[in-house]
Structure 1
Amino acid sequence: MAEPAGPAGPAAPAGPTAAAEPVDDPRTEDEVVRFCSDLIRVDTANRGGGDGVERPAAEYVAEVLSEAGLDPLLLESAPGRANVVTRITGTEQGRPALLVHGHLDVVPADPAEWRIPPTSGEVVDRVIWGRGAVDMKNTVAMILSLVRSWGRQGRRPRRDLVLAFTADEEDTAAYGARFLVERHADLFDGCTEAIGESGAFAFHTDGGARLYPVATGERGTAWLRLTARGTAGHGSRVNTDNAVAKLATAITRIAEHEWPVRLIPTVRACLTGIAASLDRPAGDLSAEDLDETNAAALVEALGHAGALVAPILRNSANPTMLSAGYKVNVIPGEAVAYVDGRVLPGHRDEFEATLDALTGPDVAWGYAHSEIALEAPLDTPTVAAMADALRAEDPTGHVVPYCMAGGTDAKQFARLGIAGYGFAPLGLPPGFDYHAMFHGVDERVPIDALTFGVRVLDRFLTTVS
């Protein structure tokens, strides 16, 4: 169901030209904080399997966009599962459009584990607390505050921008980005590139350098269901055809398997870029010498910065769920396990062959959910504009490409031929564990990180050609 959330007509704030420099707007900080806190207070926990309600957050976003002079569409894929899409007309027609996307859902949080309630949106010492503060209601708030500022100042980007705020990213995207791609692809006409979550955050190295990893790749999703079958019987009797034992053996092999290093272009560029920023190659190792036999040694030599690369050197498979039996003295005829697999671009066949070998003849496996891996071009004007926008705010920062260990809605939009980049800038302070905030307890984000991000987004979105 599509519902207009504002006056009908083309979505474009009034304004003559794009600005090369961000214009100071004293209301922006107050608005980005308010929008972020308000969105956190809206419970959009996605428990999977269709259990989630994003509509109240979508209505909030649509109202803010309407107040900025835009014409958002609220698109409901199922009761309560709502998305918002709008288009801002650029000043230079004929250029390809750019998609800017962010998701409205969050993973669940147990209030008993948190110091401050996860749906409070409370601000303490210039830090906003709550589920979604980093993943990713903060970025939604940055986009909203920026669009509001443009509306007040009569500014527009050079390229058309399509803004999409989605449901269900934290599960399968069936009610969100996948629904939009399959049912409303026309809304993304002209889009050739996209920016979304998990990139351009400040990462402080051991030696004091600041890295800004811009995501140009994502590992593919390979959530697996393993099934072992055997002979059911009494728990007191010998049973050599035990489904639980078969499954346990396969799961142990998967958990203990050491996946080989596979050096994709994005990871190669990330490694050499980090090494150059630290002026610390691994011994005499040069970029030309880097290969799959010595990449792990370079990661080790990079110290703390190696943490950016270690999870993306390989495919991975982690057992996460087990289900078998119903009574302690009954041997079940079936046992089931789930495994969270992640696959580097170009290495799906190797992943599947390895799973065949690890599970063996006694355990069957299949995909519970599967998504493609992504790798976007590195040497493009858009990537250069991202780097320029970051360096304008932090001239001594080092911008490097980066492959995400997990995945985002970029996988869905890639089906429309849209190259996706992770670019949600945050000026984080030393000691802030960005990755620990994702799906973690006591998720929070500093206000100064958000205002930095708004300035970087402003510069990038109004100048990228």
Structure 2
Amino acid sequence: MTDVAEICSRLLRIDTTNDGSGRGPGERRAAEYVAGLLTDAGIDPVVFESAPGRTSVVARVPGDSPDALLVHGHLDVVPADPAEWRIHPFSGEVEDGCVHGRGAVDMKGTLAMTLAWVLRGRRPRRDLVLAFLADEEATGAYGAGHAVERHRDLFEGCTEAISESGGFSWYEGGTRIYPIAVGERGTAWMRLTARGVAGHGSKPAVDNPVAELARAVARLADHRWPVRLTPEVARLIDALSRALGTPVDLDRLDEEIQRIPRAAALFKGVLRNSANPTMLDAGYKVNVIPGTAQAHVDGRFLPGLRDEFLETVDRLLGPKVTREFVNFEEGVSSPAEGLFDDLTAALLAEDPGGVPVPYVMTGGTDAKWFAKIGIRGYGFAPLFLPPELDYFGMFHGVDERVPVEGLEFGVRVLDRLLAA
């Protein structure tokens, strides 16, 4: 097993499940392992907690320029039910050329690539700030949020950052595409509440909040959000058109998604805002109409479309259902130039036949927290993947795994990018 695969395997064996309740095992053991590797490499890490067990690690590696680059990632993972997996999700087992386990792609594999590069002892071309953070799989408040609010001095000089969800190989026909994330949609996690009149379930309802909420949730789920082509997504589609040698009709994007399904997976989730009901909570006994009913909705909106999104949500909910934010973060975007050009060059140095393109993530990352202190973020976790591996399906999916060769490719790309 190579060093990067061994590090990845060891990280995967540490259960850092984050179900959002704050009752999980926490990130401490993983943070201690990371801090130990950094110390072995002659780097002095700063380890801190935002709450018991919610541990993060930050370290600075001096380079040839004080203009610092932040390389950040998260130590936590989403839950995994071992009964659903072919190989135990916290085994870190290597089989069929892949490292298996919850977090292999999201994102302990990327942390392993960063650590493997650091352990080589190479001097970076610019100061590096390495951040291994708690809580990204919830709101980030116990990780990146705490770090930027209470330990901002650790990020002194950082102007740009790289993290998860970009730089992986993706295929359309014979074309190998490398999407590099330059933005992500805003996040609006909402709690919906309907209030009515409690009563006996056998009698005619005066004002049933369960029914009212159900109608509102159905309206949200059924709503067809209009296409809103942002400049970043238009740039991606143009780059894909040139890479594939075929024009993509911007006026018929729904049809184009059917024509080039693999390439379209990179943009079909960022053509529109979205609001997906995810949780329902109402009642306590079958023969009692409750006084309140609640639901949770995962809302996402494109950069610059916050007001339109919220106005539409309020119209669909109607006057009897109120909303409050569980988490709200603006969408972020970074220029497809400067550091983007360096990321492109690093990929092409290892894969001259690849085609890097800018893209916008459907979900969100800790980049939103760092944007608040002026750090521009890019999704760049380079992986060379076989065409048959469903990269997007690995995120929060069953049987998550990452190829060892893909991790080794990523370390080489990072070396091209980071080393002096």
TM-score band, normalised by the shorter chain? Answer: over 0.9
Q: Match for residue 197 of structure 2?
A: 231
CA displacement 1:427-458 (0-9 Å, x = unmatched): 00111000111111100011000000000011
Structure 1 residue 422 corresponds to structure 2 residue 368 = no
Mapping of 1:393-412 within 5 angstroms? 393-412=350-369
Q: Match for residue 396 of structure 2?
A: 439
Q: Match for residue 111 of structure 2?
A: 140
Q: Match for residue 167 of structure 1?
A: 134
Q: Which runs of 4+ in 1 moved over 3 A?
A: 293-301
Choose from 97, 114, 117 the match for 1:126: 97
* SS at structure 2 position matched to 1:62: helix
CA contact (8 A) 1:281 1:301 kept: no
Q: Match for residue 32 of structure 1?
A: 4
Choose from 57, 60, 63 the match for 1:87: 60
Q: Match for residue 337 of structure 1?
A: 295
Following superposition, the deviation at residue 307 of structure 1 comes to 1.1
CA contact (8 A) 1:280 1:301 kept: no
* SS at structure 1 position matched to 2:210: helix
In 1, distance between residues paired with 2:211 and 2:328? 27
In 2, distance between residues paired with 1:59 and 1:66? 10
In 2, distance between residues paired with 1:196 and 1:130? 20
In 1, distance between residues paired with 2:381 and 2:231? 22
* SS at structure 1 position matched to 2:109: helix
**RMSD after superposition:** 1.1
CA displacement 1:54-81 (0-9 Å, x = unmatched): 0100000000001111111111111111
Structure 1 residue 309 corresponds to structure 2 residue 281 = no
Following superposition, the deviation at residue 210 of structure 1 comes to 0.6
Choose from 140, 151, 157 the match for 2:124: 157
Structure 1 residue 354 corresponds to structure 2 residue 327 = no
Same amino acid, percent of matched pairs: 60
Aligned length: 419
In 2, distance between residues paired with 1:430 and 1:419? 31
In 2, distance between residues paired with 1:416 and 1:314? 28
Following superposition, the deviation at residue 247 of structure 1 comes to 0.4
In 2, distance between residues paired with 1:294 and 1:112? 43
Choose from 34, 57, 67 the match for 2:40: 67
CA displacement 1:212-259 (0-9 Å, x = unmatched): 000000111111111111111111111141101100110000000001
Structure 1 residue 257 corresponds to structure 2 residue 228 = no
Structure 1 residue 114 corresponds to structure 2 residue 85 = yes
CA contact (8 A) 1:281 1:298 kept: no
Following superposition, the deviation at residue 297 of structure 1 comes to 4.0
Unaligned 5+ segments in structure 1 are 1-28
TM-score, reference length from structure 2: 0.98
Choose from 24, 27, 51 the match for 1:78: 51
Structure 1 residue 375 corresponds to structure 2 residue 333 = yes
In 2, distance between residues paired with 1:265 and 1:271? 10
In 2, distance between residues paired with 1:137 and 1:51? 21
Q: Match for residue 456 of structure 1?
A: 413
Q: Match for residue 277 of structure 2?
A: 319
Structure 1 residue 183 corresponds to structure 2 residue 146 = no
Letter in 1 for 2:320: D
In 2, distance between residues paired with 1:39 and 1:65? 14
Unaligned 5+ segments in structure 2 are none
CA contact (8 A) 1:271 1:298 kept: no
Q: Match for residue 15 of structure 1?
A: none
* SS at structure 1 position matched to 2:323: strand
In 1, distance between residues paired with 2:373 and 2:164? 18
TM-score, reference length from structure 1: 0.88
CA contact (8 A) 1:271 1:299 kept: no
* SS at structure 1 position matched to 2:294: strand
In 1, distance between residues paired with 2:159 and 2:397? 33
* SS at structure 2 position matched to 1:102: strand
Following superposition, the deviation at residue 129 of structure 1 comes to 0.5
In 2, distance between residues paired with 1:438 and 1:42? 18
CA displacement 1:282-338 (0-9 Å, x = unmatched): 3xx5xxxx4xx4443444443321111111101000001001111111111111000
Q: Match for residue 192 of structure 1?
A: 159
In 1, distance between residues paired with 2:400 and 2:153? 36
Following superposition, the deviation at residue 379 of structure 1 comes to 2.1
